[in-house]
Amino acid sequence: MTTPLLEVRDLRIALDAGGRSHDAVGNVSFSIGRGETFGLVGESGCGKSITALSIMGLLRSPLSLAGGAIALDGREIQDLPAADMRRLRGKRIAMIFQEPMTALNPLSPVGRQIAEMFVLHERASWKEAWERAEDALRQVRVPSPERRVHDYPHQLSGGMRQRVMIAIALACGPDLLVADEPTTALDVTVQAEIVDLMAELCAAKGTAVLMISHDLGLVANMCERVAVMYAGRIVESQAADAIFAHPRHPYTQGLIGSLPLLSARSRHGRQKLREISGVVPSIVAYPPGCRFNPRCPAMTDICARDVPMAESLPDGGLVRCHHHG
């Protein structure tokens, strides 16, 4: 077996609050091959974003890496000195964020923010870097890039800002793009365009994508494999087609069943949506055993007692449930 581009093994992230350390993320393992698109799905607070930040080496207090390994091309990067990590970030792994307005520097023209990448990572001269910045804007289909390079972020629309973020992220041809809810702040028709653009550029350059989202539909369309997180654990991962056709974990089943999907009413008439009872548990009070047990329709005694182990599925996925289907 070839070495995957990114391998996350048994990742643990601790949150320090009120003098205690809480287990925010644990037992998280997954790998992403070269050029592969991988989706990490979950609700707010499930740990998907901090998993992404840990890969970027950007965890800051009160969050910290408490264990596990993150390997890029087989080389562990979780303990790299800050200066080495800085060289990696932007060059080999890049990230785009949900809110482009807060991720961009408001005091610097967007062209400069793109050009900086070439100066820092490829030792280009500023003159050359500005020219390449214009090209980069053209690639993300910003109209009249020769004028737009001089614009400040506030002069651009939300969709244009996210295009600039993509241009910055892909400037140095990274091997892995981490996209954390890249289109959540955008309108739906604009979201569709940005997703298509990202998919197209990454496919053309062979960039692997780790897509983080709460939107199952989006991830299903964009990714080849999907992992579902709940309360700091991966509860299920499968090929995207399989996870929607045959979800194994009761949480995944519940999520998919609870969505009012387009054209469901045309086909089946209006039916009451399937609810997942209860609420997402708080990080300071995760239930013992399986963390989904208080909300689970298949819950039995063992679920409240024993933490379920990850079980491999025949077609390469995994599920973490005592009673999985």
Partner 1 sequence: MADALLELDDLAVHYQVGSRFQGGVKALKAVDGITLDVKPGECLGLVGESGCGKSTLALAIMGLVAPTRGVIRLEGRALGARPDRMETARTVQMVFQDPYASLNPRQTVRRTLADPLRLHGVGDKAEIEARVADMMARVGLRPEHADRYPHEFSGGQRQRIGIARALILRPKLVICDEPVSALDVSIRAQIINLLMELKDELGLAYIVISHDLGVVEHVSDRVAVMYLGRIVERGGWREIFENPRHPYTRALIAAIPDPFRRSAATADRKARGEIASALDPPPGCHFHPRCPLRADVCATQAPALEPIADGHLAACHFRDRTG
Sites of contact with partner 1 (CB under 8 A): 43-44, 157, 159-160, 187-193, 195-196, 214-218, 220-222, 244, 251, 254-256, 258-266, 270, 272-277, 279-280, 295
Residue 43 burial class via C-beta count within 10 angstroms: exposed 0-12, middle 13-18, buried 19 and up: middle
| Cis ω before 62 (30° cut-off from 0) | yes
Q: Which is nearer to partner 1, 174 or 182 (CB)?
A: 182
Of the chain, the end-to-end C-alpha distance in Å amounts to 29
CB of 203: closest distance to partner 1 in angstroms? 13
Q: 94 and 55 in contact (C-beta within 8 Å)?
A: no
Q: What is the 3-state secondary structure (H, E, C) of 32-84?
A: ECCCCEEEEECCCCCCHHHHHHHHHCCCCCCEEEEEEEEEECCEECCCCCHHH
Least distance (Å) between residue 257 CB and partner 1: 8
Closer CB to partner 1, residue 97 or residue 292? 292
| Minimal distance, residue 219 CB to partner 1, in Å | 8
> Minimal distance in Å, beta carbon 195 to partner 1?
7
Supply angle C-alpha 203, 212, 218, rounded to 5. 70
Q: Pick the closer one to partner 1 by CB: 58 or 298.
A: 298
DSSP 8-state assignment for residue 2: P
Q: State in angstroms the smallest separation of the CB of 51 from partner 1.
A: 18
Residue 10 or residue 200: which is nearer to partner 1 going by CB?
A: 200
Query: What is the nearest approach in angstroms of partner 1 to the Cβ of residue 280?
Result: 6
Closest CB to partner 1 among 41 and 117? 41
DSSP one-letter string for 263-304? THHHHH---PPPPPPS-PPPGGGPPSSSTTGGG-TT--HHHH
Question: Nearer to partner 1 by C-beta: 42 or 68?
Answer: 42
Closest separation in Å from C-beta 254 to partner 1: 7
Yes or no: say if 91 and 174 are a contact pair by the CB < 8 Å rule. yes
Question: Residue 288 and residue 168: Cα distance in Å, rounded?
Answer: 43
CA nearest to 179, candidates 213, 137, 156: 213
C-alpha–C-alpha distance, residues 150 and 109, integer Å: 5
Comparison of 18 and 260: residue with beta carbon closer to partner 1: 260
